[in-house]
Structure 1
Amino acid sequence: MRSWTCGVCGQLVFFENTKCLRCGNPLGFDWAMRELWTRPEEPRCANFDAIGCNGLAANAGELCFACRLTRTRPNDDDSIGIGQWADAERAKRRLLFELGELGLPTDGLSFDLLSSAHAPVTTGHLDGLVTLDLAESDDAERELRRVQMGEPYRTLLGHMRHEVGHFYFPVLVDTDERRAMVRACFGDERADYQEALDRHYASGPPANWAESYVSAYATMHPSEDWAETFAHVLHLHDTLQTAREYGVRVEGPPGRPDLHAEPVVIEGQTGLREVLDDWLGLTYALNALNRSLGYDDLYPFVLTGPVIEKLDLIDDLVARRR
């Protein structure tokens, strides 16, 4: 994420802010210009009052670009669902900003943000439609599911990054040459999905899964391996861009030059492999800081050679599309 300042007083502001906390001037994100403006005369998104969306609209009473992509959301009289919807929209706006930074198209992408308090909801993707169970916005519920599923990491943003990974498979893997490359790396996505699903939940991941996969869930099917790895590429891009914007520099412990990390960015200039040394130094430091606060590792992943190969392939396909 980029860093932002108030256009009136120069105060540091953030992507999600609706006003400057120093001077009180309203802030709005212009999706066409990709800038956070201090322009009180610009029309706000029609969802501003309901969920605090800070997007700017073309005309008064209209939705901003991000909110227009939501096809279904909770009813106005569902106070709990509205609160959960607001959390999901914040995560979605950040996702859409990053997709724009990477030059990835969003034509054909839409979202159903549904509450499982009223009917069963399965988070997933089908033909460009991402469905999200809004129960995932509740910290306690999400943590319970994370523990039940044996996952080291589970967030709203992570779910969305994974599901749009399915959407971008046919966008990025659009030639016979690219399909051959991806199948050689991830396996054949045409393999029977239901059979793979039944096998995964009956037997679990293989004992040595961490040697070749970024997560246990990625072992289930080549399509899920692709989506999990795609989500991880987005994790890397967003975190490294944020580190660069804030000038984060890690010297590393004395005598460990391998854990030095400069503020780097990977969009457009440097391949993914070239910045992973910086990524290692940064994540070691972040994990150590988290442990000092009594939390689990902020970055609970191990990037092995085969995993790096998959990350690099997807990053290269994204760069070619850009």
Structure 2
Amino acid sequence: MRTFTCDHCGHLVFFESTTCVHCGSTLAFVPERMHMAALAPSQTQPGIWEPVSSHFDKGSKHLRMCRNRSNEGAACNFTTDADGSQPYCVSCRQTRWLPNFINPLNVLRASKVENAKRHLFYTLSCLQLTPLQGFAAPTFDFLEDLPGQPQIMTGHTAGVITLNVAEADDDERARRRLAMFEPYRTLLGHLRHESGHFFWDTLVRDTQWLAPFRQLFGDERIDYALALHNHYARGPMGLAGWQAHYVSAYAAAHPWEDWAETWAHYLHVMDLMETAASYHVQLRLPGHQSSCAPVDDPFANIHIAFEHILQQCVPLTLMLNSLTRSLGQSDAYPFALSSGAVAKLQFIHEVVTDHRMRKLRQT
């Protein structure tokens, strides 16, 4: 994600910020503008906020805070329509269920999950894949396990993404990651993966991409339940030799899971590259004599080739892992992409770029 600054004082702020720590200005993210704005309450209209910056056009002079801004369990910092027709922001409107806040643990859990969902919304918006661009959006159910009830399983069905909020607990998520021999497990990663299932339905199924998808990922019509049964029967390490063709062991379970895992990884890479570009990072591998070019923003350049993205991503992830090891932490990017995995990432890039180009021609 790119960096943001306070409109009032120019100090660095973050996507989750609600107040500038430098000047004290009230901050909110304006999703229609993809901009973090310093806001002041209207002197004449209760509930209306006005940007302090002169860079906003007249149509953006009046905003409302999302109703969930005051909801500790959602803690939303997005804005919504000034006319009051939509009390919740475009991201919060996607959430159908939150866990019961009678359990105090669920307040923090919901806050973490909703923040991850807003981060996903930002990335998808950069790819022209949200309701702001007239695109269908999934619905989210964030649920907890209850005594005597079936365990809540994270997954996607018919446009609804369900997440067990226990995944927001660091200790529980770490336990599951270790039990499954996974190198990486995060809330944002879960949401990116499950959104991949949703976008397979909307970008690949019943389109010209279905035949090439089957050639590369396999035929999704094979029995899904049986495929998952066989995957778990093999144990957490999955199919032997999976590294040559997949981004993860779980991706080998079924073509749908292969797509979803690769989709999530594609979003990881694109977001990572935009972040590096916003900091004007220039990298060269130690011992290499190649020129030290700035990292490119893949969201800003719709024509960028995935090969170029990958060429810049490799030294970036090596530096990132070196930094986290210096702090005594595990690798932030614990992946080694094979040529088979790269080919599938390239395919997703082509699908997304085609979608973005068509949206561009419509405007």
Match of 2:200 in 1: 169
* More helix, by proportion: 1
| Deviation at residue 250 of structure 1 after TM alignment | 2.1
Query: C-alpha offsets along residues 222-253 of structure 1, whole Å, 9 cap, x if unaligned?
Result: 00000000001100110000000011222322
AA at the equivalent of 1:247: H
- C-alpha contact 1:211 1:306 (8 A) present in aligned 2: yes
AA at the equivalent of 1:225: D
Output the TM-score relative to the length of structure 2. Answer: 0.85
| Deviation at residue 280 of structure 1 after TM alignment | 0.7
SS in 1 for 2:314: helix
2:298 to 258, 266, 270: 266
Distance 1:261 1:152, change over 3 A: farther
| Deviation at residue 296 of structure 1 after TM alignment | 1.4
1:91 to 98, 104, 116: 116
Q: Distance in 2 between matches of 1:257 and 1:280?
A: 16
Q: Distance in 2 between matches of 1:251 and 1:145?
A: 36
1:310 to 344, 357, 363: 344
SS in 2 for 1:189: coil
Distance 1:275 1:259, change over 3 A: farther
SS in 2 for 1:250: coil
Distance 1:284 1:260, change over 3 A: farther
Match of 2:80 in 1: 57
Match of 1:239 in 2: 272
Q: Distance in 1 between matches of 2:354 and 2:258?
A: 21
Q: Distance in 1 between matches of 2:291 and 2:270?
A: 19
SS in 1 for 2:26: coil
Query: C-alpha offsets along residues 26-52 of structure 1, whole Å, 9 cap, x if unaligned?
Result: 111112222111113322111112232
Distance 1:227 1:9, change over 3 A: same
- C-alpha contact 1:6 1:12 (8 A) present in aligned 2: yes
AA at the equivalent of 1:44: M
SS in 2 for 1:71: strand
SS in 2 for 1:40: strand
- Counterpart mapping for 1:134-173 below 5 A: 134-173=165-204
Q: Distance in 2 between matches of 1:182 and 1:7?
A: 45
1:229 to 258, 262, 265: 262
- C-alpha contact 1:6 1:13 (8 A) present in aligned 2: yes
Q: How many residues end up aligned between the 2 structures?
A: 321
- C-alpha contact 2:284 2:290 (8 A) present in aligned 1: no
**Percent identity between the two aligned chains:** 42
Output the TM-score relative to the length of structure 1. Answer: 0.95
AA at the equivalent of 1:274: H
1:28 is aligned to 2:28: yes
Distance 1:122 1:175, change over 3 A: closer
SS in 2 for 1:29: strand
Distance 1:209 1:236, change over 3 A: same
- C-alpha contact 1:259 1:277 (8 A) present in aligned 2: no
- C-alpha contact 1:261 1:282 (8 A) present in aligned 2: no
Which of the pair has more CA radius of gyration? 2
SS in 2 for 1:78: coil
1:44 to 55, 65, 70: 65
| Deviation at residue 274 of structure 1 after TM alignment | 1.7
- Counterpart mapping for 1:114-153 below 5 A: 114-116=143-145, 119=149, 120-153=151-184
Q: Distance in 1 between matches of 2:345 and 2:24?
A: 42
| Deviation at residue 261 of structure 1 after TM alignment | 6.5
Report the RMSD for the aligned CA atoms in angstroms.
Answer: 1.7
| Deviation at residue 174 of structure 1 after TM alignment | 4.4
Query: C-alpha offsets along residues 179-212 of structure 1, whole Å, 9 cap, x if unaligned?
Result: 1100000001111011101111111422211011
- C-alpha contact 2:192 2:263 (8 A) present in aligned 1: yes
AA at the equivalent of 1:37: A
1:200 is aligned to 2:223: no
- C-alpha contact 1:91 1:157 (8 A) present in aligned 2: yes
SS in 1 for 2:161: strand
Gaps in structure 2 of 5+ consecutive residues: 42-48, 50-63, 357-363
SS in 1 for 2:140: strand
Q: Distance in 1 between matches of 2:8 and 2:190?
A: 36
Match of 1:291 in 2: 325
